[in-house]
Amino acid sequence: MDPAIEVLSLTVHYGTSPVLWDLSFSIPRGVLAGIIGPNGAGKSTLLKTILGLIPPAVGGFRILGKNFEQVRTQIAYVPQKGAVDWDFPITVYELAEMGAYARLGLFRRLTKDDRALIIDSLNKVGLSDFQNREIRELSGGQQQRAFLARALVQQAELYLLDEPFSGVDHASEETILRIIKEMVGAGKSVIIVHHDLETVKRYFDWVVLLNTRLIGAGAASKVLTSSNLQKAYGQQFTILAEALRLSQETA
């Protein structure tokens, strides 16, 4: 079976500065994969390049064994919170409804089954009682769950989430993680940009570790070695490792 994503000698520039340099790796289907690295490593840029939002300077990628345009409707994207205009006047239900149009096309009339799927997705993320509220009225965790509902309605094969746990409360994080693991259990592929090293091994089956260049890609237990983390994070990792050691000693 073709990988969920295959990246081939990918280089991406902002102006004359390389943000991603000569990346080659693949992520198998049906895994929960994390894209890990320090700030400025190119994690979000990688997702946006895969989505066709940023053109590569060199190289490319294949998604589910095909070109992006061939599988566009099979990819669902949950952006970073900071990339969303939360003042846009749209309700939680209308946001989830957008997932159906992403799958069917803008000019298709929604069926009773489509609307049932929207309600079911809102139930799964715990927002059925908030469906008539505007998204700006929600808490940070509720906002992330609303976007996850939109992705669920799309019924995609590949889900790309850009830091979905950032700025959310613990209950929302656990809800989001549970739903994502259920999706993977149903055969979907989920790729998440993630920044919290403490939870990486607990959350992810597969990891892509990068800092402009690829440090490693594979099973989390094999990639997340002290040597690789030192290469990716440098002094940051040394400080974090010491903080974790001290917290374990005082626990």
What pLDDT, on the 0 to 100 scale, is given for residue 240?
55
Kindly report, residue by residue over 191-229, the tens digit of the pLDDT.
999 988 889 988 999 999 999 999 999 999 899 988 898
Structural domains of the chain, count: 1
Residue numbers of the domain that contains 126: 5-250
Residues in the chain: 251
The CATH number assigned to the domain holding 33 equals 3.40.50.300
- Residue 239's pLDDT is what? 54
pTM for the model: 0.88
Two structure tokens written together for 77: 């994207």
Q: Which of 2-16, 25-39, 99-113, 156-170 has the lowest mean pLDDT?
A: 99-113
Residue 161 contacts by C-beta under 8 Å, 6 or more apart in sequence? 77, 78, 148, 151, 180, 190, 191, 192, 193
Average pLDDT on 97-123 reads: 86
**164, 144 Cβ separation under 8 angstroms:** yes
Structure tokens at 102: 């992403």
DSSP 50: H
pLDDT of residue 194: 94
Chain position carrying tokens 């070695």? 225
Amino acid identity for residue 165 in this structure: F
Mean pLDDT of the chain: 88
